[in-house]
Amino acid sequence: MITVITPPVTNALTVTATAERELVLNGTPATTGLQELIGQASDVCARYCGRPEGFGRATVRQTERAVNAPCIILDRDIAPAITSVIEDGTTLAATDYELDGSLLYRLSGDYRIQWRAAVVQVTYAAGYALLTDLPQDIERACLIVLQAIHSSRGRDPHIRSESADGVGSVSYLDPRSVSDALPAQAITLLQPWRKMSA
């Protein structure tokens, strides 16, 4: 179970000034409703990556119950930094655990041992300080999605393609597929940032 202690300052994957440069139409930057479009594009990218909470840095408390495992997998896996670990009501010293990526191990001296506890609470910060350390390929993917959303205004969003050779035909997107909302170039850029379970 995840409890958000301090939410991210923002989950927007780009800023208005950058988006305006990308959406220049007939020499005039598009500004109307731009912040809303940035939010929509950022959410689409985050959902595709299996990160509905977004990429912004937040402080959370993760509670694990009936723990009997070699490690605890932190739910938020982007640059996690542990604040505290409480095992069955006792706050562990920093020498009692070890963080390896997003895997938290219990230590006994120099050895990793099995976690055996009724309740373990891990408080940590994870995510990017947007846009300070956000990888540029994530921002670029957001801008590509933003352009696609902006250019598709006024069209049926479920239509994948149309042809008018003789009779004409229309193919539709699968409304259940998040990837159908993403241009192929954005998918390529976001692929390395997907959670393994996404």
Which residues neighbour 39 within 8 Å (Cβ) at sequence distance 6 or greater?
11, 12
Hey, is 33 helix, strand or coil? coil
Question: pLDDT at residue 171 above 80?
Answer: no
- Tell me the C-alpha to C-alpha distance, in Å, between residue 168 and each of 86, 100, 154, 157, 161: 64, 56, 21, 19, 11
166 secondary structure, DSSP code: T
Tokens 């109307």 belong to: 32
Are 112 and 136 part of one and the same domain?
no
Q: Give the tokens for residue 148.
A: 């696609």
Tokens 């997003």 belong to: 102
The number of domains in the chain is: 2
**104 lies in some domain:** yes
pLDDT computed for residue 173 by the predictor: 43
Are 34 and 65 part of one and the same domain?
no
Mean pLDDT, the chain, rounded, equals 86
Half-sphere exposure of 192 (CA within 13 A, CB side): 7
Are 88 and 105 part of one and the same domain?
yes
Domain endpoint, select from 69, 95, 126: 126
Are 45 and 141 part of one and the same domain?
yes
Task: Specify the pTM.
Answer: 0.79
- 86: part of which helix (H) or strand (E)? strand 81-87
**198 lies in some domain:** no
Q: What is the mean pLDDT of residues 161-175?
A: 54
pLDDT computed for residue 198 by the predictor: 44
**82 lies in some domain:** yes
Are 121 and 63 part of one and the same domain?
yes
Domain endpoint, select from 103, 126, 149: 126
Domain endpoint, select from 73, 99, 126: 126
Confidence class of residue 178 from pLDDT cuts 50, 70 and 90? very low
Tokens 């604040």 belong to: 83
**65 lies in some domain:** yes
Are 73 and 118 part of one and the same domain?
yes
Per the structure, the complete domain to which residue 9 belongs is given by 2-55+129-193
Question: pLDDT at residue 112 above 70?
Answer: yes
Q: Give the tokens for residue 158.
A: 């479920």
Which residues neighbour 144 within 8 Å (Cβ) at sequence distance 6 or greater?
183, 185, 186, 189
**148 lies in some domain:** yes
In angstroms, the CA 108 to CA 114 distance is 10
Question: pLDDT at residue 177 above 70?
Answer: no
Are 30 and 72 part of one and the same domain?
no
Are 64 and 162 part of one and the same domain?
no
Hey, is 182 helix, strand or coil? coil
Are 14 and 102 part of one and the same domain?
no
CA angle 52, 54, 55 (to 5 degrees): 145
